[in-house]
Amino acid sequence: MRRTVNIILIQAFQDRMDSTMTVSKPSAASAGGNDNGASDSRGASVLVNAVDVLRCFTAEQPLQGVTEIAAQVGLHKSTVSRILATLEQEDLVERDLSSRRFKLGLGLIAVAGPLLADLDERRAAYPVLQELTERTGETSTFMVWNRGESVCVEQVPSRQQVKHTTPLGTRYNTAWSSSVQVFLANEGTEKVRAMLSAGQIQLPAATDENVEDYLVRLKQAASQGYATNYGETSLDEVGVAAPVFDHRGGLAGCVMVAAPRFRVSTDQLQALAEACRQAAAKITVRLGGQPAA
């Protein structure tokens, strides 16, 4: 929600707050001359204060009172009250009927609609993948889940001569693939059992004992926020993957880093996994989501 609010304000808030800013600016006559610089500064401060007020509303604390907001943003209650009154006029906040406290209004949806309609996970992921490849020196990809398969939809290849790359559209359904592990870790246990039993997910020698061990591994991947594949699908390949969540908290995809195994020791694998997890968190924020703890 915080990310969405930030984008909304950048795109639409300037026009909506013009009237408030105009009231805040002194006239040239009262200031004793032309004082555009000071007026612009005061106008900007009104916008910044309004942004701070809106940032107080979170998924964990959707209802806020004037006193609570004033304490968080460091403004006088009368100032906060005036800002909320302006936001309420524009339907950007509204009063909860039972508590009489404020909450975000449906007007935000109207303002954010064009942005959300155009929100593309690939577009959000690409600059972060570029940073990740630059940081690690290895190939970074963005994967999505489609009918029991992990599909590569974006990629920034390594600049090194020896590297691991994947054509866009490549699909994976092997259980030990790091991206498949990330997606399955967010499925229910019984669904994973059914997929393994039906052969939809390929787990070599899928005995009951191996299935139980695999389910434990998925729980560990969910807990630590990433999954690894250290030469388990191919002796020459290492892969790490971390989940990306959207603004609804759903799994939007995952970031995966792939590298030749000879270049990644077990100690380096941990550093690679942490870089991947941080990149996934950045994309999650860009999509308006909350990174996993």
DSSP string, 123-183: HHHHHHHHHHHHHHSSEEEEEEEETTEEEEEEEE--SSSS-----TT-EE-BTT-HHHHHH
212-247 pLDDT, tens digit per residue, is 999 999 999 999 999 999 999 989 999 999 999 998
Question: What confidence score (pLDDT) does residue 119 get?
Answer: 55
Q: Which residues contact 66 (CB under 8 A, 6 or more apart)?
A: 77, 80, 81, 84, 102
Q: Where are the domains of the chain?
A: 2-117, 121-286
Question: What confidence score (pLDDT) does residue 15 get?
Answer: 42
240-272 pLDDT, tens digit per residue, is 999 999 988 899 999 999 999 999 998 899 999
User: What pairs with residue 227 in β-bridges?
Assistant: 241
Question: What confidence score (pLDDT) does residue 40 get?
Answer: 60
Ranges in the chain, pLDDT < 70: 1-44, 113-119, 293
Question: What confidence score (pLDDT) does residue 44 get?
Answer: 67
d(Cα 219, Cα 249) in Å, to the nearest integer? 18
Question: What confidence score (pLDDT) does residue 269 get?
Answer: 94
Question: What confidence score (pLDDT) does residue 161 get?
Answer: 93
d(Cα 69, Cα 48) in Å, to the nearest integer? 14
User: What CATH topology corresponds to 121-286?
Assistant: Beta-Lactamase (3.30.450)
Is 239 within 8 Å of 174 (Cβ atoms)?
Answer: no
CATH class of 2-117: mainly alpha
Other Cβ atoms within 10 Å of 199 Cβ, number = 10
What CA dihedral angle connects 283, 286, 287 and 289, to 10 degrees?
80
DSSP 260: E
Is 210 within 8 Å of 218 (Cβ atoms)?
Answer: no
